Amino acid sequence: MAIISDFNEEEQKSTRSSQSQSSSSSSSSSSFTAPFDRSNPIAFLQKVFEFVSEQSDFLATEAAEKQVLSLVRAAGKKRRDQLKASEEREKAEKKKREELKATEERKKAEKRLKEEKEHKAEEDSGASKGKLAEIVSSFSNVRLLCLALKIL
């Protein structure tokens, strides 16, 4: 439920001063209470305008329509700007999350590549050692053959 009170500080000050001067003040403040249904804000606004129409001559003036329209435009622009700023923040946060995710994936890929290189180097090193052992073994066999030939 929304509550709108039609009450100005100037009216409050003038009421206080006029009370002390034994007033016969013509300005008075009125209260307005109406339920606000988010699914039907027009009903609420209709009640507001009915109340203003009953309590003052504001809507009878030629400037009233322009002033009300100006207020509606300003409120609409403010809300659109808020939505736009919210969307931009969400887009920026999403982009930041995506960049962070891409950075993490890049780091993981680099780590995997490094591990693969290390593994391949170990395999190559093992293969080299195996070839070296093979050569040494062959060399030993040749040496033994040479020794055997010398003996004979």
Give the start-end residues of each E strand in 2-63: 2-6, 30-34
pLDDT in tens, 87-109: 999 999 999 999 999 999 999 99
The rounded mean pLDDT for the chain is 78
CA 108 to chain centre: 27
Per-residue pLDDT at 127: 65
Contact present, 5 and 12 (Cβ < 8 Å): no
**pLDDT exceeds 70 at position 12:** no
Per-residue pLDDT at 18: 38
Q: In the predicted model, what is the mean pLDDT of residues 43-68?
A: 93
Domain boundaries, the chain: 1-60, 62-152
Per-residue pLDDT at 117: 86
